[in-house]
Structure 1
C-alpha cells in the first residue's frame, strides 16, 4: 500500500476517541497489530494525527513487553510534549532506555517545569550526565529548579515569562514582543517589575492589545496580584489559584524578586494529583498506579495491612475478655461484627469529610469546635436512625426484645464514637504535623472496632440476667 493510500485509509484523530475522549480499543489493537506485523509505516501514520496526550495514553495502554517495539515504530512522535503528558512510571522506563544526549535534547524543547518533571526522577548519575549535555542556560535553570524541595512552587514554576518595566508604554511593550523571537510564546499576562526585578503589577494581554500605544504600562496594569513564594507547597499553590481564580501567578524568591511563573494548566494537574494521593493514602494503597511495578505496590500496601493487623488485636483482646458472655448467648458473636462494621463506615465518612476540609483549608482553628459539634450532631442522628432499625430487626429475628435493645444502644454508642473519632483523629494528627490522610484510617478503624465490640459485649454483660431470661 502506498503512502497516499495509507493516508486515505487513516481516519482523523477525532474518530479514534470515544465519547469520553479515550482511545478506542479497536484503534489501539490496530496500531499494535501493525507493529507486530512489522509495518512501522502504517503504525506511524495511524498515530501521527493524535494529540501528544493521546499518544502518551497509547503508550500507557500498550503492554509493557510491547512498548519498545511501539516506540521504535512511531519513532520521532515520542517527543518532549508526549513525555510530559506520560504516566511517571511509564515515562521513567522510556527515559531509562534513552541516552543522556537524547534526554537533553528532549528537555531543551520543553518549558522548565516539564523538563524538571522528566529529569528529577532519574538516578543521580544519569541526572548529572543529562545536565552536562544541556546548554549552559538550560542547565542553570534546571539545576536551580532541582535545588528547591519536591512538590514546591520552585519545582513547578517555569522561567519562560514576559517581564517589562513600569515606565514603558504600551507601544514599547508591543514592539518588544514582536521584535524578540526568543521570548516565551505561551503566556496570558505580562508581569511589570521595578528596577530590582520585583513584581509591582500585571497586565493582561487583552488590556495591552486594546490600549493606545502612548499609554504608560503603569496606567493599565493591575497592582493587586497574588505572589507565590518559591518554597510554597504545590497544594497551597493550587488552593490560591482556586480561591482567587488565577490564570497565572508570579513566583518570587526570598528577597521578593520575580523568578518564574505558574500557570493554571499545571495547577489543574496538581489538583487531580493531590486529590488522588489523599484518597489512596486514606486506603493505604501506596501510590495506587496500575503501571507501578508489582513489588513496589506490594511494599506500599503490605505495611498498612500489617499495621491494621496489629491494631485489630485490640478488638480481639476485648472479645477474649468477654468469652463467658458469648458462651451464654452465641448470637452476640454474630452481632458484634455488625455493630463494629457499621461504626467503621460511619467513622470513615466523617474522616473523609474532615481530611478534605483540612486539605482545602475549610477547617481551621477558628471553626474547629463548630465542626466537631456538627459531626457529633450528624452522628447522633445517624446513630438513632440505624440503631432503631437494627434494634427492631434483631428483636424480631431472634425473638428477644432485650437483645434488640442491647444491640440498638451499642450501635448508637459506636456510631457517635465513630463520628467523634473521624473528626478528632485527623485534627490531632494535623496539629502535631502528621499527614492526616496517611494515618487517620488506622486509628479510626482501631477505635470503631474496639469500641463496637466493647459496647456490645459490655452492655450484654451488664444486663446479663435479662438477656438470658
Structure 2
C-alpha cells in the first residue's frame, strides 16, 4: 500500500468523497431509470452496458459520465462488477465523483477488495470514514495485514478504535457486523428529557429505531421505541414506559444465530453486549436481510461443493475450492464401482442388469438429496434439535417408504412388461430398499456432521451420494443373484 501523497498510476482508481449532489442523484430506489438503462427486473440492460463500454473504448469520458450519472449507487456498483479489471478501473476513473461510499458499500467483496488494493492508504481511509462502522470493517477486513495497518494509521483516532475493536471479534459474528452508532440513556430521565436530547441532535446516528436504557455500568436494562416516546407525556419517567424484557445479542454470537433470533422474536433492532454485559452496539433488521441472503446462498453452494461460488472469485481460488470435493467424490465413487465389480459375472449373464442399475442409483440419489436438503435447512433454522431428532428421522423414513413404494410400482411394472416379471419384482424391491436408505442417510449424515461441530452443508452430499449409489447397486445386483435370475 503506497503513501497517500504519491500520484495514482493509470490502473488506479480515485474514489470521491460523499457529496450532496451525488447522494441526491441516486439516493432513492424509486428514482431508478427504467427506460433505456434498466429492464423490468431492475437489472442493467445489455444495450446500456455496451454503450458504456463503447464510450470507454473511444475514450469519451464525458459520455461515460452522462450515461452513468442518473443511476442509483447500487446500480453503479452492479455496472462496475460487469466489467473486467482493467475496464473497471477505467470506468471508475471516468466517474470519479460518482464513486461515493454508497457505491463502495454495494460492491461485491472481491471487486471491492481489488479496487481498494489499487488505492493508497489515505484514499481508502477517506472512504472508510464516510461509511458506517460495520461497512468500514467489511471494507478493510479482507485486505492484507500490512494494508490494514497502513489504512488504520490514516484514520481519525475515534474511527480507528471502533474498527480495531470490531476486527478483534471473529469473522461472521455480531461484533463484526454490529453498528456502534446507537442512542443510550440512563433510566432516571423523563420522556421530556429524551425528546429534548434527541432534538438537539448532537452525536446522534442518522437512523435509529429505539432508545436503549442503561444503568451506570452501561448494562442494558430496557428499551423504548421512538413511537412510544412520541405518544407519552413529557413528565412520565422513562422507566415507567420502557420495555424491560429485551433480547440481548452477545458480540461473539455467530451471524446465523443472530438472524434466527431476529426471525424468532420478530425483532427490528436489538442491543449487542460484550462479555461483561455492557452495551457495545446494535443490530438492525437491514443487517439481518443481508445475513439471511448470504447464509442461504452459502449453504446451497456448500452442498454442491462449489466453494463461495462467486462469479468474481479468482480462478485459482475457485479451482482450489471445487477440485478438492471432486477428488473426494471420486474416492466415494470408487466404493460404488467396487460393488459393481463384485457382481461382474452376474452382469455379463444378463445385460438388462446394466441397463437398469443406473435407474436404481439415480432415484435413490435424488431421494437422498431431497431429504438432506430438508434436514440441512431444519438444522440451520434450529427446527431439528437433539430433542426431536428421533421423530424427524421416523417422519422422513415414512416419507421415503411411501415414495419408494410409489416409484417401485411404476418401475416394477415397466420392467416386468419389457423384460420379465421376476426382474420387475427385483428392481421394485431394490428401489424400496434404496429409497428408504436414502431417507435415513439424508437425515443421519447431516445430523452426524452437526454433532461433530462441522457444517452439515459442507460434505453431506458427497457421503449421501456414496451411500445411495452403493446401496442401490448392492441391493439390485444382490437381489438379482438371490432370486436366481443370474448366478454370482
- Please point out which of 384, 389, 410 is paired with 1:389: 410
2:483 aligned with 1:457, yes or no? no
Point out the more displaced range, 371-380 or 61-70: 61-70
Q: Give structure 1 regions of 4+ aligned residues with deviation exceeding 6 angstroms.
A: none
- Please point out which of 392, 404, 429 is paired with 2:424: 404
Q: How far is 1:220 from its partner?
A: 2.0
Distance in 1, Cα, partners of 2:269 & 2:124: 28
- Please point out which of 459, 462, 467 is paired with 1:447: 467
2:41 partner SS: coil
Distance in 2, Cα, partners of 1:378 & 1:128: 56
Q: How far is 1:26 from its partner?
A: 2.1
- Please point out which of 128, 140, 143 is paired with 2:149: 128
Distance in 2, Cα, partners of 1:43 & 1:338: 56
2:129 aligned with 1:99, yes or no? no
Structure 2: 5+ residue stretches without partners: 1-24, 26-30
Tell me: CA distance 1:67–1:250, structure 2 relative to 1, closer, same or farther (3 Å). Answer: same
- 2:53 aligned residue: 32
Structure 1: 5+ residue stretches without partners: 1-6
1:335 partner SS: helix
Distance in 2, Cα, partners of 1:171 & 1:43: 52
**1:61-96 deviation line (CA, Å, top 9, x unaligned):** 223331111011111212222111111111111111
TM-score normalized by the length of structure 2 = 0.91
Please list, as runs of the form range in 1=range in 2, the aligned pairs for 1:160-175 lying within 5 A after superposition.
160-175=181-196
Q: How far is 1:467 from its partner?
A: 5.5
- 2:76 aligned residue: 55
Point out the more displaced range, 206-215 or 357-366: 206-215
Q: Is the CA contact 1:170–1:213 (under 8 Å) kept in the aligned structure 2?
A: yes
2:455 aligned with 1:435, yes or no? yes
Distance in 1, Cα, partners of 2:389 & 2:461: 20
- 1:380 aligned residue: 401
2:224 partner SS: strand
- Please point out which of 281, 289, 305 is paired with 2:326: 305
CA root-mean-square deviation:
1.5
Distance in 1, Cα, partners of 2:286 & 2:53: 31
Distance in 1, Cα, partners of 2:182 & 2:63: 40
Q: How far is 1:12 from its partner?
A: 6.2
2:175 aligned with 1:154, yes or no? yes
TM-score normalized by the length of structure 1 = 0.95
Please list, as runs of the form range in 1=range in 2, the aligned pairs for 1:191-270 lying within 5 A after superposition.
191-270=212-291
2:160 aligned with 1:139, yes or no? yes
Q: Is the CA contact 1:403–1:467 (under 8 Å) kept in the aligned structure 2?
A: no
- 2:33 aligned residue: 13
Distance in 2, Cα, partners of 1:99 & 1:204: 42
Distance in 1, Cα, partners of 2:223 & 2:213: 6
**1:407-462 deviation line (CA, Å, top 9, x unaligned):** 11111110000111000111111111111100111110110010010001101111
**1:362-408 deviation line (CA, Å, top 9, x unaligned):** 1111111110010000000000000110111111122x111111111
Distance in 2, Cα, partners of 1:65 & 1:416: 54
**1:270-316 deviation line (CA, Å, top 9, x unaligned):** 00000000000000011111111112111111111110000111111
Q: Is the CA contact 2:34–2:40 (under 8 Å) kept in the aligned structure 1?
A: no
Distance in 1, Cα, partners of 2:275 & 2:211: 22
Q: How far is 1:336 from its partner?
A: 1.0
Distance in 2, Cα, partners of 1:452 & 1:320: 14
1:366 partner SS: coil
- 1:64 aligned residue: 85
Q: Is the CA contact 2:349–2:486 (under 8 Å) kept in the aligned structure 1?
A: no
